[in-house]
Amino acid sequence: MSPRALLLALAVVAVWGTNFAVIGDTLKTLPPLLFATLRFSVVVFPLILFVRRPDVSWRLLASYGLAIGVGQFGLLFIAINGHIAAGLASLVIQIQAVFTIAMAMAASGERLQPLQWPALALALAGLGVVLAHSGGEVSLLGLALVLGAAFGWALGNMAQRAAGRVDMLGFITWSSLFAVPPLFALSLALEGWPGIVAGMAAMTPATWAAVAWQAVGNTLFGYGTWGWLLARYPAASVAPTALLVPVFGMASTALWLGEPLPAWKLIAAALIIGGLGLNLVATRQPARA
């Protein structure tokens, strides 16, 4: 990537990483699916009245909206709501890089490079460390939910790449339209109308600011810039920059939410980040058909 693109990628991962502290704090007030619904509602309205729909199929818009809105953030918010510590979630969700590269390789017909096998082993060992400490800051359900969120993120990455070089503001805005109805329906079904009313009544200016930050900072800037990068550079170059997300995520949740950083967390982080970093080295080698 060019220096400009690298700086943009670093800005995105800094925003995404510190956002886990914001998510963890906001979920003390809002039910998770209602929170996700509000996040994408603020993205859609009123922008959709002023932003032209990009020249891509409705199928791609729907695929991205469902993958990111429901698949990634619906599952992630549920997970952080009592099933996994926010900082730990910022680490586990980086498995999206493995999913993204695997999907890109499957689409191109490439095979795993020799170095990618130990890279995968390291990442899985890191997940094993997290799994071994389930019952405290992470449950088996929380781990499964975050892995599902990582898979949703990877699906969104592939939809963005398929869209090519389009107006990302329009793409994010119009695709978010497909995230709001299913998220609200799930909130209504699982959290109930009384829970929705109570959550809305409990909102403060700080809560509304957190929702606005989710929409503007994380979705419009973060995913808009991420999609711009994916449309111009190989997934193997872009996706691994997200390795810095857990650095910002675990540091910010430790400072803001008081989450502890025991040795096992640091070991898990070293293994997962090391595995994904080694995978980046492997993908820069000449591919074998």
Q: What is the mean pLDDT of residues 158-168?
A: 87
The rounded distance, in Å, linking the Cα atoms of 198 and 5 is: 43
Please give the span between the terminal C-alpha atoms of the chain, in angstroms, as a whole number.
24
pLDDT of residue 288: 44
pLDDT of residue 120: 84
> Is there a contact between 241 and 86 (Cβ–Cβ < 8 Å)?
no
pLDDT of residue 250: 94
Q: What is the mean pLDDT of residues 104-122?
A: 79
Q: How confident is the model at residue 289 (pLDDT cuts 50, 70, 90)?
A: very low
pLDDT for 215 beyond 50:
yes
Residue ranges covered by each domain of the chain: 3-112+138-261
Q: How confident is the model at residue 261 (pLDDT cuts 50, 70, 90)?
A: very high
Q: What is the mean pLDDT of residues 128-149?
A: 91
The rounded distance, in Å, linking the Cα atoms of 65 and 159 is: 9
pLDDT of residue 287: 45
CB-based contacts of 3, cutoff 8 Å, min separation 6: none
Q: What is the mean pLDDT of residues 35-64?
A: 94
The rounded distance, in Å, linking the Cα atoms of 44 and 179 is: 10
Q: What is the pTM of this model?
A: 0.89
Q: How confident is the model at residue 147 (pLDDT cuts 50, 70, 90)?
A: very high
pLDDT of residue 150: 95
Q: How confident is the model at residue 283 (pLDDT cuts 50, 70, 90)?
A: low
Residue 181, preceding bond cis, omega within 30 degrees?
no
